[in-house]
Amino acid sequence: MSEADEKIVILGGRGMLGTDLANECETRGIDFEIFDLPDFDITNEEHLRSILKDTCTVINCAAYTNVEKAESEPELAYKINAEAVGRLGILVRKKDIWVLHVSTDFVFDGTNDRPYLETDPPNPINLYGRTKLAGEKLLIESRCRCCIIRFEWTYGLNGNNFIRKLLAKAKQQGKLKVVDDQIGSPTATTEAAKVICDVVGKKPKGVFHYASDGYVSRFGMAGFIVEKLGMSVELESCKTGDFPTVAARPLNSRFNCGKIKKLLSQIIKPWQKPLEDFLGQL
């Protein structure tokens, strides 16, 4: 099949990232099709087989993404994030289909004192992270032609993310207490979608890290949002330990994105501009 005939199949195409990816494909004139719950279930082998018939590129954005709930639904999270991804690998290998699988910074424990490289040993500290890491491993073990891109701190118009939760809380309480010891790079799903489309054009193998350029704490990010939206909210910093959650969070989510920059010969935009654009759309 030539590049011109190529169809991109987006699994989880109605989710936060999947929606922006579908929009980006449309903008670029890329032929694509989306599959998602309830009519498509990635854990159903027959569903997977039926959509792999005439395709030559698969992008897997389907995932169990509720980090807190995963702790009490480990079997379901594992089935979607790991088992189904391994099965996808076996099926695409038989057809020699290249697959791009989306993963996360939550495969790391966040104890590194520098940005994470793709070669750094993973060590997830919550159930969601363990299932995502298991998915990566099963996909690689299937020996299919695959690329894994890990993203971090993503936000988009079509999802319930940190920003939406923050704004809801500010509206409800008039004040915000935000952790200042979790550091990362807020990354717009619109930017992630562009990168995915660029990577599809190259079809590399292996693991890549992608995040917006620069780093900020959750508290710093909240301050930026409050300022840009001109909100009158009381903002207070606290530590992760003051904010008990069911699932542990890595403190350092920073990525070294040198590998993907080299692959695409691109610079990456600083996190502020896409976030400002996003806030303008709310």
Ligand X SMILES: NC(=O)c1ccc[n+]([C@@H]2O[C@H](COP(=O)([O-])OP(=O)(O)OC[C@H]3O[C@@H](n4cnc5c(N)ncnc54)[C@H](OP(=O)(O)O)[C@@H]3O)[C@@H](O)[C@H]2O)c1
Q: Is 155 a catalytic residue?
A: no
Residue of this chain nearest to ligand X (CB atom): 15
Residue carrying structure tokens 């099709």 = 33
Phi, psi for residue 253 in degrees, rounded to 5: -105, 10
Peptide bond into 38 cis (omega under 30): yes
Q: Exactly one of 24, 136, 152, 191 binds ligand X (CB under 6 A); which one?
A: 152
Instruction: Report the residue number, 80 or 147, with the smaller CB distance to ligand X.
Output: 80
Q: Does 41 bind ligand X (CB under 6 A)?
A: yes
Closest CA to 52 of 110, 87, 7, 92: 92
Q: Exactly one of 65, 126, 185, 212 binds ligand X (CB under 6 A); which one?
A: 65
Number of residues that bind ligand X (CB under 6 A): 27
**Which residues between 103 and 142 bind ligand X (CB under 6 A)?**
104, 132
Stretch that binds ligand X, among 10-18, 112-120, 174-182, 221-229 (CB under 6 A): 10-18
Which are the contacts of 248, defined by CB distance < 8 A and separation ≥ 6? 125, 126
Length of the chain: 282
Stretch that binds ligand X, among 37-45, 177-185, 231-239, 258-266 (CB under 6 A): 37-45
Q: How far is the CB of 34 from ligand X (least distance, A)?
A: 9
Q: Exactly one of 32, 98, 151, 215 binds ligand X (CB under 6 A); which one?
A: 151
C-alpha–C-alpha distance, residues 96 and 23, integer Å: 27
Q: Does 251 bind ligand X (CB under 6 A)?
A: no
Instruction: Report the residue number, 1 or 37, with the smaller CB distance to ligand X.
Output: 37
Instruction: Report the residue number, 24 or 152, with the smaller CB distance to ligand X.
Output: 152
Q: Exactly one of 52, 56, 63, 99 binds ligand X (CB under 6 A); which one?
A: 63
Q: Exactly one of 8, 91, 102, 248 binds ligand X (CB under 6 A); which one?
A: 102
Query: Which of 64, 78, 116, 128 is labelled catalytic?
Result: 128
Q: How far is the CB of 4 from ligand X (least distance, A)?
A: 28
Q: Exactly one of 159, 177, 237, 247 binds ligand X (CB under 6 A); which one?
A: 159
Active site residue ranges: 128
Residues forming contacts to ligand X in the complex (CB under 6 A) are: 12, 14-18, 36-37, 40-43, 61-65, 80, 102, 104, 132, 151-154, 159, 161
